[in-house]
Amino acid sequence: MTSRERLRAIFAHEPYDHFGIFEHFWGETIPEWRKQGFPEDGDPARFFDYDLRGVGGGPNATPFRDFSELIQETDEWKITRSGWGAALKHWKHHSGTPEHIDFVIKDAATWKPYRDQLVGPADPTRVDIEGTRKNWKEGAAENKYCTFSCLFIVETLRHALGDVHMLESFILDKPWLHDVNRVITDFYIRHFDLLFKEVGVPDGIFIYEDLGFTNGLFASPKTLEELIFPYYREFVDFFKGKGAQVLLHSCGGVTEAVSMILEAGFDCLQPMEAKAGVDVVALARKFGNRIAFMGNIDVTKLNTNDRAIVKGEVLGKLNALYDLGAGYVFHSDHSIPPDVTFDTYRYAVDLYRDFCATHPCGA
């Protein structure tokens, strides 16, 4: 099977030849690997022959796209205010979540000028039509499973309001949050509809929405069901009505939300952070083949750079998932950090390849 055929079958719960493979990396990882022998001009997607290719397509939902204010800067970090009114502290020399400093949007009144920028007809300048068309053509020529991607409601709320005010508003100002979520959902549907008309519908849509932290969900399942998941279902239905499969990226301890994720219609859950207590084998045992899985290879095992530990992690999960008949794509439980050596990651991929060669899935 081609990569495209393989992943389409995995996400549709149809027979396929063997497990798929994809990966994300922290920004520092590939530069560090170049010191360890990774080709200077190498592209991980092609070097490791991943099945999935992200080809762009995410509409720019920043209300004031041309606004950026530098507030403070040192050799190590800088604080800037974005077109969402958010003042964030970013580290210059390593990746990581920015520190929240200040937020303009606090209620319906302060939301209004930002809201006004996001309503109305679809704006072609908010989607990269030519770049997406070019990237998709290249991915399709290599028979890859091609995805468009976007952030959605929770990630927008976190960036625009900050975690604390977002979570407080879940309880204290639900009508306002419903308005914000309605505007964001309508914005993305209008702009993806425009993009589909101009470029076409890809194999899948990768939606990036972190619902949890190390110890569990950011909000109770009841709150998420009331405020967030109605918009998820609408968004997923829109894409599936166009013929695209829908993948959800959600970091943190999301185990309690998997039933809702499945019921919302998502075809695949990624990355299932092992270090946040998520266990892909337990999920596959509970949900069977009703949803596909991508990830859960524990980075805290990989970054030991101990081959015995890496082998136990990789083959332990591959064997268990194979025995359960799960639809699965090999991937870390978040992204590969620079303390996982090039040699270690290559060894993990070799274990995956050798496993696939001896464990066909019956396509």
Q: Which of 109, 8, 111, 99 is nearest to 51 (CA)?
A: 8
Question: What's the pLDDT at 97?
Answer: 80
Take residue 328 and report the two structure tokens written for it.
């699965």
Take residue 317 and report the two structure tokens written for it.
């999960």
Domains of the chain, start order: 3-61+107-358 (3.20.20.210)
Which residues touch 264 (CB under 8 Å, ≥6 apart)?
229, 232, 233, 236
> Sheet containing 69-73: which strands, arranged edge to edge?
69-73, 77-81, 86-91, 99-103
DSSP bridge partners of 110: none
SS3 of residue 76 by DSSP: coil
> % helix / strand / coil in the chain, to the nearest 5?
45, 15, 35
Q: Name the pTM for this structure.
A: 0.95
pLDDT in tens, the chain (363 residues): 999 999 999 999 999 999 999 999 999 999 999 999 999 999 999 999 999 999 998 899 999 999 989 999 999 999 999 999 999 999 888 777 888 999 999 999 999 999 999 999 999 999 999 999 999 999 999 999 999 999 999 999 999 999 999 999 999 999 999 999 999 999 999 999 999 999 999 999 999 999 999 899 999 999 999 999 999 999 999 999 999 999 999 999 999 999 999 999 999 999 999 999 999 999 999 998 899 999 999 999 999 999 999 999 999 999 999 999 999 999 999 999 999 999 999 999 999 999 999 999 865
Question: What's the pLDDT at 95?
Answer: 77
- State which amino acid sits at residue 201: V
Question: What's the pLDDT at 363?
Answer: 57
Q: What is the Cα Rg of the chain in Å? A: 21
Report how far residue 271's alpha carbon sits from residue 278's, in angstroms, rounded to the nearest whole number. Answer: 9
Question: What's the pLDDT at 94?
Answer: 77
Question: What's the pLDDT at 173?
Answer: 95
- State which amino acid sits at residue 279: D
Question: What's the pLDDT at 98?
Answer: 86
